[in-house]
Amino acid sequence: MKAVILAGGFGTRLSEATNLIPKPMVEIGGKPILWHIMKTYSQYGINEFVICCGYKGYVIKEWFANYFMHNSDVTVDLATNSIEVHSCKAEHWKVTLVDTGLHTMTGGRIKKIQKYIGNETFLLTYGDGVSDINIVESIKEHKKNGKALTVTAFKPNGKFGALELGENGEVEAFTEKPAGDGMWINAGYFVCEPEVFDYITEGDSTIFEKAPLENLAKDGKMGSYKHNGFWKPMDTLRDNVELNQMWDTGKAPWKIWE
């Protein structure tokens, strides 16, 4: 099973860092948040990734193309133009990096990677949030509910997009940003069937969180997996500082790997 990661947005609310690099490459503890997200999936045996690049996507491509250089000790022999890698710190990852366009919306980006998914169930998330979500349990719930898409539902302290859930966990309605607190929100971790691609009908301008998710809920094809652990998006510089403090003090709840 592959995990698709949306990593092409401008990240304007984190402009202090994203004027030079894309948001998923902003670091927590010396590693891009993208790496942290992938480590979470990898902990549950998900090692194939499709990354939807856009804004400054070349930075993401360069980082993976030179992964050994970024994560290992190396000796560079200038006389022979050769590089020797020491203490290799490799991951068992296969990463497909796709240029999905500079101004493409989230739904449009997902549609553009359809050929890399084929007719298989796939995972989907954003490249700017960390969680201690149990990926295996979310997949089990998806198989159990038999829906086209299962969204991870989370109750935050603040105001985010909300999910109205039925008694059996079926998503009855999807509202992007309702008023009020204490509602279940979309935490951005999905399990999807290929049928989801059929709901992306407006080309590059399709916003996944609007018509596709709203219509999936309306058609009774969206289920939920309730996550009661940790989840935090990195929307602002303050979020980045808080996440780095958690990491530096050894209190990063999303670090479920050794």
- Segment 203-238, tens digit of pLDDT: 999 999 999 999 999 999 999 999 999 999 999 999
Residue 158 pLDDT greater than 90, yes or no = no
Give Rg (Cα) of the chain.
19
Nearest-CA neighbor of 63 among 107, 28, 21, 103? 21
Give the model's pLDDT for residue 177: 60
Q: pLDDT tens, 125-137? A: 999 999 999 999 9
How are beta strands 184-192 and 122-126 bridged, if at all? antiparallel
Mean pLDDT confidence for 136-162: 89
The CATH number of the structural domain formed by 2-150+188-193+230-247 is: 3.90.550.10
Bridge partners, 86 (sequence order) = 73
**Cα 76 from chain centre:** 35
Spans of all domains in the chain: 2-150+188-193+230-247
pTM over 0.95: no
Across the chain, mean pLDDT equals 93
For the residues 8-23, what does the mean pLDDT come to?
A: 92
Residues sharing a CB contact under 8 Å with residue 237, sequence separation 6 or more, in sequence order: 14, 16, 17
Token duo for residue 255: 């670090």
